[in-house]
Amino acid sequence: MNGLIAALLRDFAAIQTSKQRRWGYQRAAAAVLALEEPIESLIQPDGTLRKIPNIGPSSSRVILEVLQTGTSPTIERAIADSGHVADVERRRDLQGNFLSRSQVLAALRNRNLVGPQIADYRGDLQMHSTFSDGSQTLEDIVRAGIDRGYRFCGVTDHSYGLPIARGVSMEKLAQQHREIDALNRKFRGRFRLIKGIEANILPDGSVDMLPEELAQLELVVAAPHSSLRVAADQTSRMVAAVRTQGVHILGHPRGRKYGARPGVTADWDRVFAAANAARVAIEIDGDPSRQDVDYQLAKRAVDAGCLFALDSDAHSTGELQFVETAIAHARLAGVPTDRVVNCWETERLLDWLRSRSR
């Protein structure tokens, strides 16, 4: 219900002509998506909605309408009158299988689901530091990781091929590796930082770093950041990416964004079969606006025998909790805990990383 209402409020926002109202409904949609409880539990005995920050009176009226009738005649009428019906329908296609915060918490609590739990999770393998577009220092990552009960984290700043995200040069990467070595000495036996990178998958499926550069890294997440709005099939691009020597994780495989872009179109069963053959892990990216791959697609990767990486894609220590969204999708997909590389002992993880790098 939270997801349905948030989607309707976003539709409503999209057809507003006043910038201020558009912004107001967007903010209300975000507030509903972030609720920790089902919105129906916030109805008071007199039938009104309890006060929720960032949700104004006209959003409240719409919410009550949906709770009473399952839809919002007000919004549907406004869409029909707006002349933007096709636009709204296109956007609705881009919201498939996104979980609201309340659904994430329900999946984490649901004991009938198999799959990893937060307590099984030993470290995050995709995140960004101040070396590229993140706001967390390397030491912040270590301390936040220890606070969360982790034993390791992979630092995966953007490669130099993505200047828009302040991709790191090879010189800066060398400096980062010296800092990582120092932190690993300081926290020896307690925590291990892993030298990683998020490399771009180019249109031909190769990654935007040279083999001798990849060889300097312990962890390579290869992810698509271009051609994410084209309808043409890109199976061969993604298959080539997972077959690339030195790649460990296929990061946010589709590159979709909530309500904004569909991402890569591919025959995913073929991609997953190739990933499994290469022992490359399929990522579930827990950034709430990505949720990529989602539980439905993840189920097909389970059937293909794939390994999984459940990552936050955090750009600040506060975002490390995004991984809960990834864990929720894994539980809904029935991913066996032993196939989640983040749940492995540190040595087993490092062995797997080294076996792919050779």
Binding site for Zn ion (CB under 5 A): 223
| Closer residue to Zn ion (CB): 80 or 260 | 260
Residue reference for tokens 């995140």? 127
CB of 275 to Zn ion, least distance (A): 17
CB of 36 to Zn ion, least distance (A): 27
CB of 251 to Zn ion, least distance (A): 6
Query: At CA 286, angle to CA 71 and CA 67, rounded to 5?
Result: 15
Contact 42, 52 (CB under 8 A): yes
| Closer residue to Zn ion (CB): 223 or 310 | 223
Dig out the tokens for 128 from the structure. Answer: 């960004």
- Distance in angstroms (rounded) separating the CA atoms of residues 357 and 220: 9
| Closer residue to Zn ion (CB): 1 or 222 | 222
CB of 115 to Zn ion, least distance (A): 24
Contact 147, 353 (CB under 8 A): no
Task: Say which residues have a Cβ less than 8 Å from residue 296's Cβ, sequence separation at least 6.
Answer: 96, 97, 333
CB of 133 to Zn ion, least distance (A): 10
| Closer residue to Zn ion (CB): 100 or 126 | 126
Q: How far is CA 146 from CA 108, 122, 142, 316, 331, in A?
A: 21, 10, 6, 15, 24
Dig out the tokens for 37 from the structure. Answer: 């409880």
| Closer residue to Zn ion (CB): 246 or 251 | 251
Neighbours of 162 (CB within 10 A): 20
- 263-293: string of b/e by CB count within 10 Å (b at 16+)? bbebebeebbbbbbebebbbbbbbbbebbbb
CB of 20 to Zn ion, least distance (A): 32
DSSP string for 283-328: EEE--TTT-BS-HHHHHHHHHTT--EEEE--BSSGGGGGGHHHHHH
- Distance in angstroms (rounded) separating the CA atoms of residues 61 and 48: 9
| Closer residue to Zn ion (CB): 223 or 266 | 223
| Closer residue to Zn ion (CB): 273 or 323 | 323
SS3 content of the chain, % helix, strand, coil (to 5): 50, 15, 35
CB of 313 to Zn ion, least distance (A): 7
Query: At CA 64, angle to CA 59 and CA 65, rounded to 5?
Result: 95
CB of 167 to Zn ion, least distance (A): 11
CB of 252 to Zn ion, least distance (A): 6
CB-nearest residue to Zn ion: 223
| Closer residue to Zn ion (CB): 122 or 290 | 290
Tell me which residue of 285, 289, 358 sits closest to 328, measured CA to CA.
285
| Closer residue to Zn ion (CB): 2 or 244 | 244
Tell me which residue of 256, 315, 316, 252 sits closest to 286, measured CA to CA.
252
